Structure 1
Amino acid sequence: MPKIVIIGAGIVGCSLADELTERGYCDVVVLEKGPLWKPGGSTSHAPGVVFQANGSRTMAQFARQTVEKLYSIQHNGEPCFLKVGSLEIATTPERLAELHRRAGLAQSAGINARVIPPDEALKLHPLLVPDKLLGALYVPDDGIARAILADEVMGERAISRGARFVSDCEVLAIDQSEGRVTGVQTTQGSFPADIIVSCAGIWGPKIGAMVGMSKALQPLAHQLCYTAPMPELATYTTEAELPVLRHQGSDLYFKQRGQSLAVGWYGHKPLPVKAENILPGEPAGLMPSQVPFTPEHWKGAMELSAEVIPALKQAEIVESMNGLFSFTVDNFPLMGEWAGLKGFWVAEAVWVTHGCGVARAMAEWIVNGHPTLAVHECDVNRFETHQLGALHIEERGAQNFVEVYDLLHPLQPMESPRPIRTTGFYPRQQELGGFFLEAAGYERPQWYEANAGLLARYDCPPRDAWSSKFWSPIIGAEARAVREGVGLFDITTLKRIEVTGKGALEFLERMTTGNLHKKPGAITYCLLLNESGGILSDITVMRRGERDFFIGVNSNIDIHYLRQAAPDTVQVRDITAGTVGLGLFGPKAREVAQRLTPDDLGNEALGYFRLKSTYLGHVPVMLCRLSYVGELGYEIYTTADLALKLWDTLWQAGQQYGLIAAGRGAFNSMRLEKGYRSYGTDMNSEHNPHEAGLSFAVRKGGGYIGAEAFQAIDPAALSRRLVCLVLENPQQVVMGKEPVMHQGKVVGYLTSAYFGYTIGKPLAYAWVPAALSTQGTGLTIRYFDQDYPAIVGQDPQYDPQMTRLKS
């Protein structure tokens, strides 16, 4: 049994100790710098308001698990969660529409949520002003976490199973040997450890620095005040009976505390603090996670509060704080084992709302090898190098604080700092009027204004106001033009690695589901599975030589996973920054490419899923016969220094064939028509290959991770499936993540969604019960407050026989 040291006894640390010891991992020591059970971190001052609705399905599940756990435990007969419900109010039509969208997101994650009219909201919260209220999102299972009481209950349970909690114990150093942790040095001596889990919250960057780890976490101060007892609350005799309340349009939230109200305010400017400057007792009377209240930043808070709760006009503020808590560069927690040091785990940037859910996932990860829930969004190894710089962390953390309650579109990119990463194609893309969004720091075109003239040839249906944000009808024209001719796509944002060395083939066959015993020049689509048969990623393995593989992966998580598993004789090298990629797709792609090389590119010489090292003009390239958009074509890779020459060479050769540059919008439309899955959107570790329609990518026999679990699955007895939904009305475009309904009940949720410009209908992929996965089954999609009819359609909708790809 491993020796586990947990750093920090806040909501995550205490819950993790509870979860680990419950699973029999009882050699656990929890080190806490402050006193138990109110040590002075963010948990100790947090208001405990829990709103489960979240745009991320995983984060919503973390919140739901937190509510379930806290509601199930008591402290000396007192509940650790007050299930008073929540209201998010709307005072403008835009906010009301957003509440309908949020209700759908919550319902798709299994959370009981609905938009209610003003009169119902007023009955639940009589202090609200009636004349400005347009509606509210009501979640009856939300409420107030009594985190300090819960910490004690969970901590004592862990102690009863053998865990040890050490208070007033500051961590000074992390011991390590041969790339593994060995122990922790503290003010109370040394503690040996096989596994260290940093649950240090706002002090996380300080702990990370001890092992050379840069954490994409920024502590910021947030203002929270409590009123004196209010006459309007005089009839309430318990701690909380009114729902917790958010007025996101004015950056405010409220909760009842007996006969007073707490007012939380995000409307002030960001107030970042460095982790190493967070010290206890400065000034006296404040816990370490609090800094002196700054009245100048509170200006406007009470006036805006009184607009929705008039009783606050006369309320007196008797307690005030600037409380510290954590933001990350992408608003997700930091979870998992850091790739830089074996045995060093992190569970930080976690708010009370998600604390117990995160702890459960971490315990499953440590004990079972992977959590039940998909956690790729939260994996601590997900970041690009540029995201780990101090300036970037502070700027993005501060901006995420500003936007915490803003009405944000799913495609809305960050505005600063940009651009960060550009490819050698960028000057040409700018000349063509590219509209750029950001992907992994790269500027990636969505469409090109230079193609506006195509609209005279291709009619594209209009969209509603929401789905037309960050969209243009030019996208549809580009997609149709590529189907008929040929297009050039920038695919550089795909992560690329080399796996080389003695034993590379055997290593990859153990790690992936593909049959890689093929001659050099073969391309194989593979999956990475966990021991339970869940999909960790999908990758494309290109065999360049006997011991030389070029692989397209999804993220840094894949790279770290393979790198950590590789034997000493196998090298896993990230070559993304030193290379670029272009997709040359469309029925005329071969004609364009053939003009530039004397090599035979005919179907017999270079068949589907084959590669060739050659030259296109003066540019050495790896020409790969595959296409993610479902057309004849090639993925073309070369070194970054030759990017502009490659673009210009193809551009010049393609003009007589009508070559256009096409953006990511057209790419998404075309790949959805072809039924190609996108990892992290369409499937993740919660799904197995049979459910996701990817069992063709799993070789017969065993020898790969997850083989035993996969072979035990009966494909005829699945409980759910990923299906293609077709909407008949061309103007009813959905965005993804909406709930799928059957006979008025939520039965599933959407993954990818886009208009299929070739087939002329909106498409969406969705997880639904297997009993509803038969072609022709009628379902509905809840889009804002509208129900759109859809049917389960053929998968894929376009070229199911693959004749165009293999022509």
Structure 2
Amino acid sequence: MAPRTVTPHVVVIGAGIVGTSLADELTMRGWCNVTVLDQGPLFSTGGSTSHAPGLVFQTNPSRSMAHFASYTADKFRRLTHEGEPCFDTLGGLEVATTPARWADLQRKAGWARSWGIDGHLVDSATAAELHPLLDRDRVLGAFHTPTDGLARAVRAAAAQAAAATARGAVFRGHSPVTEILTAGGRVTGVRTPHGDIAADIVVSAAGFWGAELGRTVGLTVPLVPMAHQYAYTGRIDALVGRNHGDSDASLPILRHQDGDLYYREHGDRIGIGYYGHDPMPADMSTLSWADDGDSSSVLPPPMPSMLPFTEDDFAPAWLESTGLLPALGDSKVESGFNGIFSFTPDGQSIVGEHRDLAGFWVAEAVWVTHSAGIARAVAQTMIDGSSEVDLHESDLYRFEAAERSPAFIATTSAQAFVEVYDVIHPRQQRSALRGLRRSPFHAAEVALGAEFVQGGAWERPAWYESNRSELDDLVARGMHIPARDEWSARHFSDIAVAEAVVTRSRVAMFDMTPLTRYDVEGPGAAQFLQDVTTNNVDTTVGRVTYTLVLDDNGGVRSDLTVARLAPDHYRVGANGPLDLDWLTRRARETDGAVTVRDVTGATCCIGVWGPRARDVVAPVADADLSHTAFGYFRAVQTYLGAVPVTMLRVSYVGELGWEIYTDAEYGGALWDLLWDCGTPHGVIAAGRLAFDSLRLEKGYRAWGHDMTSEHTPIEAGVEFAVKSSKDFVGKAALATREATQRLRTLVFDDADSVVLGKEPVSIGDSVVGYVTSAGWSATIGRCIAYAWLPIGAEPGAAVTVSYFDRQYDAVVAEDAVVDPAGHLIRR
């Protein structure tokens, strides 16, 4: 959205930590006409904020979430309310009691260095010094983050509300919103028992009530309110006299993730949080106030977000806790509750504007840990059009249609609860709700022994067991296969190496059906795409163009492949639902001159690539497939046998070949035809792992992994897709941004060095960047990685990549390490 010139009236629903943070962030940027409403009292409103234990551990596998947490900790550290601090910088300590967890903490320490967080691995003796209640003999080691700590959530909410009030914001408790008022497809205000309030923008920051509120305006907010156990011990003798005055905690906040547990002090008692019980989805119809709590208790007053404590569920937690913290053995669980928090299918937050109701925004499933950071990002997006920290992982519209179903949301959110403290491998797959989307080639792939992974609810072959003989042949011929460690070998097969070799040496068929594609049509289609993308797409019919989509601040929000099939018809290859959201919103501004239609499920695609690709396809093609007649980055609509196809001469693997599309009804016939034609030429089916390693060899970027809205085209190395002679969204901002970093290709020195992504990269003794994508190249016999590095790290520079407790040497290389001139593609 474009920045506003007139300050709007914003109504925020929810005065918990998210709503108050957002009011503060908006008003500090000049949007001071803000009203914040809540159904409960201010500021212990009855939601998750009111009972949240407040532990802020900043390190996260998601770079964005880590940045949100760091901003939250830094902001709250500076806040006071009525003279009291809003954050206690106690440090965070995460202990390992198993070798698997100790290895995971080494990986976590790498994330911290990658994201610029001060964190250190310590031995068991140091861990026990930091937290004397620990049984040193139970601990193998720990990860210590000195700037982690306790957020005083209600106090921080009140402090931010006071700052926002001083700038003109208004806060009203006991003011439930009973209706969202709308007219002409946009928000006009809200209705409360005390009267209507007009608004230009309404933000739902209602926490676990957000899903129900969304339903009232036809919006699916994919979250599930889940109860999570929190218990208070009786007095712990070892803590008596330790905490004085206003501080009820002095020891580091503690995680025992092997036991699904965390701990914090409450004066001379310990609070224990537990995730090891079965998921407990909350019945929203039963939640109500019972304002009769004992104010002298360590417990907050009873409220809708606090359900009765279920002692039997907590029994394993107590047994595990007394083993890790022996001092608890002389105490007992004195009180507790099952507190409600929001869980989502992928564990991320949910932010964005309703596509079909302009002005209605959501900021939901946001925990205290990330609250101020996400509030700042939402405020920046509302005011400036985009956030300085990329938000695609939290975007409201990141889910496919099947992933927005009640069954999917409930099942996967429950899995997210179960796995909240699990060691999750980056290639690990969920087990539930598989097989929702299958290409027409699925049966043939099963017959070839495909090992499937999923993405966007699609089943995607990762590799094929039928190609094991190809691997055996490579080994027999003396090809070096890297000796992978257990972690990098998990959910992987060396068969993928063989599939990459065959693609480079013969020919392979790749199932490209999950590639998202849209038809953009209408008399305004050409101008529309010219306006929203960076490259010139107003080309001759039959031309294919690689182009970018920028946000209002010049960051890369996506990359597209645009094929002009007719004067008013384009086929757009995109990255997923966020692109559909972006294009659909803007197509509506063309007064019907443009339509955007998702044709992914109605079509299918096979990528046929390799030096023998033309030998396979040309004999059955009703078109001239010679390089002269059908050049690179061209599109042709023709027939293969009797199957009508659209062929794009593009190659994400850097080999001769085509993406071949047809309607889904012809998919089985197309596969059989190409397989039969390819058999004499040694065709194989190849999977996603081979595909990924081949694209890394060519320097091809993957949006969302290698580049996001935080990066400019020059920084990402895709400036060739920007046509400066035309206007496009983000052009003006792009001209003002200076490149400070660059996505670079790394080649590892040792043939057995393999990394997976997110590892810190150092020059000398200083961490200067981090890995985005990585894969072992069969062509050069080395691992290749992309990494964000300072602009001055030119090809030839030596770097070190930290992988668990190992250090791997690598060198900065040119973007493409295989066929940089593109001769193979243009045969």
Q: With the length of structure 1 as denominator, give the TM-score of the two structures.
A: 0.98
Equivalent residue runs for 1:736-775 within 5 Å: 736-771=757-792, 773-775=793-795
Partner in structure 2 of residue 521 of structure 1: 542
- Tell me how far apart the structure 2 counterparts of residues 423 and 481 of structure 1 sit (CA, whole Å): 23
Partner in structure 1 of residue 296 of structure 2: none
- Tell me how far apart the structure 2 counterparts of residues 257 and 195 of structure 1 sit (CA, whole Å): 40
Among 100, 104, 111, the alignment partner of 2:106 is: 100
1:160 maps onto 2:184 in alignment: no
Among 511, 535, 538, the alignment partner of 2:556 is: 535
- The question of whether the paired residues in 1 share the 8 Å contact of 2:400 and 2:456 is answered with yes
- The question of whether the paired residues in 2 share the 8 Å contact of 1:204 and 1:275 is answered with no
1:243 maps onto 2:252 in alignment: yes
Partner in structure 1 of residue 321 of structure 2: 305
Query: By how many angstroms is 1:439 displaced?
Result: 0.8
Q: State the one-letter code of the partner of 1:207.
A: L
1:336 maps onto 2:363 in alignment: no
- Tell me how far apart the structure 2 counterparts of residues 159 and 494 of structure 1 sit (CA, whole Å): 48
Query: By how many angstroms is 1:700 displaced?
Result: 2.4
Query: By how many angstroms is 1:517 displaced?
Result: 2.4
Equivalent residue runs for 1:644-793 within 5 Å: 644-713=668-737, 718-771=739-792, 773-793=793-813
- The question of whether the paired residues in 2 share the 8 Å contact of 1:302 and 1:313 is answered with no
- The question of whether the paired residues in 1 share the 8 Å contact of 2:509 and 2:686 is answered with yes
- The question of whether the paired residues in 2 share the 8 Å contact of 1:282 and 1:288 is answered with no
Query: By how many angstroms is 1:643 displaced?
Result: 1.3
Query: By how many angstroms is 1:114 displaced?
Result: 1.4
Partner in structure 1 of residue 579 of structure 2: 558
- Tell me how far apart the structure 2 counterparts of residues 468 and 267 of structure 1 sit (CA, whole Å): 28
- The question of whether the paired residues in 1 share the 8 Å contact of 2:622 and 2:640 is answered with no
Partner in structure 1 of residue 3 of structure 2: none
Query: By how many angstroms is 1:492 displaced?
Result: 1.2
After superposition, the Cα gap between the structure-2 partners of 1:283 and 1:296, relative to the gap in structure 1 and judged at 3 Å, is farther
- The question of whether the paired residues in 1 share the 8 Å contact of 2:231 and 2:271 is answered with yes
- Tell me how far apart the structure 1 counterparts of residues 181 and 612 of structure 2 sit (CA, whole Å): 60
Partner in structure 1 of residue 440 of structure 2: 424
- Tell me how far apart the structure 2 counterparts of residues 59 and 696 of structure 1 sit (CA, whole Å): 31
- The question of whether the paired residues in 2 share the 8 Å contact of 1:176 and 1:183 is answered with yes
Partner in structure 1 of residue 516 of structure 2: 495
1:198 maps onto 2:221 in alignment: no
Moved more, 187-196 or 200-209: 187-196
- The question of whether the paired residues in 1 share the 8 Å contact of 2:622 and 2:638 is answered with no
Partner in structure 1 of residue 609 of structure 2: 585
- Tell me how far apart the structure 2 counterparts of residues 514 and 380 of structure 1 sit (CA, whole Å): 28
Among 380, 387, 411, the alignment partner of 1:371 is: 387
- Tell me how far apart the structure 1 counterparts of residues 734 and 341 of structure 2 sit (CA, whole Å): 42
- The question of whether the paired residues in 1 share the 8 Å contact of 2:224 and 2:409 is answered with yes
- Tell me how far apart the structure 2 counterparts of residues 647 and 276 of structure 1 sit (CA, whole Å): 51
> 3-state SS of the aligned residue for 2:327?
helix
1:576 maps onto 2:596 in alignment: no
Partner in structure 2 of residue 608 of structure 1: 632
Partner in structure 2 of residue 326 of structure 1: 342
Query: By how many angstroms is 1:457 displaced?
Result: 2.4
Q: State the one-letter code of the partner of 1:320.
A: G
Q: State the one-letter code of the partner of 2:524.
A: G
Q: Which runs of 5+ in 2 are unaligned?
A: 1-6, 294-300
> 3-state SS of the aligned residue for 1:452?
helix
Among 255, 273, 285, the alignment partner of 1:264 is: 273
- Tell me how far apart the structure 1 counterparts of residues 184 and 672 of structure 2 sit (CA, whole Å): 49
CA-based RMSD of the aligned residues comes to 1.2
- The question of whether the paired residues in 1 share the 8 Å contact of 2:127 and 2:136 is answered with no
- Tell me how far apart the structure 1 counterparts of residues 794 and 388 of structure 2 sit (CA, whole Å): 27
Partner in structure 2 of residue 480 of structure 1: 501
- Tell me how far apart the structure 2 counterparts of residues 159 and 705 of structure 1 sit (CA, whole Å): 35
- The question of whether the paired residues in 1 share the 8 Å contact of 2:617 and 2:674 is answered with yes
Query: By how many angstroms is 1:188 displaced?
Result: 1.8
Q: Deviations over 1:643-664 (max 9, x none)?
A: 1111111111100010100000
> 3-state SS of the aligned residue for 2:728?
coil
> 3-state SS of the aligned residue for 1:26?
coil
> 3-state SS of the aligned residue for 2:36?
strand
- The question of whether the paired residues in 2 share the 8 Å contact of 1:125 and 1:243 is answered with yes
Partner in structure 1 of residue 61 of structure 2: 55
Partner in structure 1 of residue 823 of structure 2: 803
Q: Which runs of 5+ in 1 are unaligned?
A: none
- The question of whether the paired residues in 1 share the 8 Å contact of 2:622 and 2:641 is answered with no
After superposition, the Cα gap between the structure-2 partners of 1:595 and 1:149, relative to the gap in structure 1 and judged at 3 Å, is same
- Tell me how far apart the structure 2 counterparts of residues 786 and 56 of structure 1 sit (CA, whole Å): 22
Q: Deviations over 1:247-299 (max 9, x none)?
A: 10010100111111101111111000144443333998620111111112112
Q: Deviations over 1:733-759 (max 9, x none)?
A: 000011111222211011011101111
- The question of whether the paired residues in 1 share the 8 Å contact of 2:36 and 2:170 is answered with yes
- Tell me how far apart the structure 1 counterparts of residues 350 and 439 of structure 2 sit (CA, whole Å): 29
- Tell me how far apart the structure 2 counterparts of residues 150 and 724 of structure 1 sit (CA, whole Å): 43
After superposition, the Cα gap between the structure-2 partners of 1:702 and 1:597, relative to the gap in structure 1 and judged at 3 Å, is closer
- Tell me how far apart the structure 1 counterparts of residues 605 and 791 of structure 2 sit (CA, whole Å): 38
> 3-state SS of the aligned residue for 1:621?
strand
Q: Deviations over 1:342-391 (max 9, x none)?
A: 11111000110000000000100111000110011111011111111112
Partner in structure 1 of residue 398 of structure 2: 382
Among 134, 141, 150, the alignment partner of 1:144 is: 150
Among 591, 594, 614, the alignment partner of 2:618 is: 594
Runs of 4+ in 1 over 4 A off after TM superposition: 282-285
Query: By how many angstroms is 1:166 displaced?
Result: 1.2
- Tell me how far apart the structure 2 counterparts of residues 93 and 372 of structure 1 sit (CA, whole Å): 38
Q: Deviations over 1:184-234 (max 9, x none)?
A: 112221111111110011001110011011111000000001112210111
Q: Deviations over 1:650-708 (max 9, x none)?
A: 11110001010000000000000000000010000000011111110000223101112
> 3-state SS of the aligned residue for 1:526?
strand
Q: State the one-letter code of the partner of 2:727.
A: G
Q: With the length of structure 2 as denominator, give the TM-score of the two structures.
A: 0.96
Q: State the one-letter code of the partner of 1:336.
A: G
- The question of whether the paired residues in 1 share the 8 Å contact of 2:207 and 2:342 is answered with yes
Partner in structure 2 of residue 4 of structure 1: 10
Among 124, 140, 157, the alignment partner of 2:130 is: 124
- The question of whether the paired residues in 2 share the 8 Å contact of 1:702 and 1:708 is answered with no
- Tell me how far apart the structure 1 counterparts of residues 286 and 797 of structure 2 sit (CA, whole Å): 60
- The question of whether the paired residues in 1 share the 8 Å contact of 2:226 and 2:281 is answered with yes
After superposition, the Cα gap between the structure-2 partners of 1:276 and 1:537, relative to the gap in structure 1 and judged at 3 Å, is farther
Q: State the one-letter code of the partner of 2:472.
A: A
Equivalent residue runs for 1:36-51 within 5 Å: 36-51=42-57
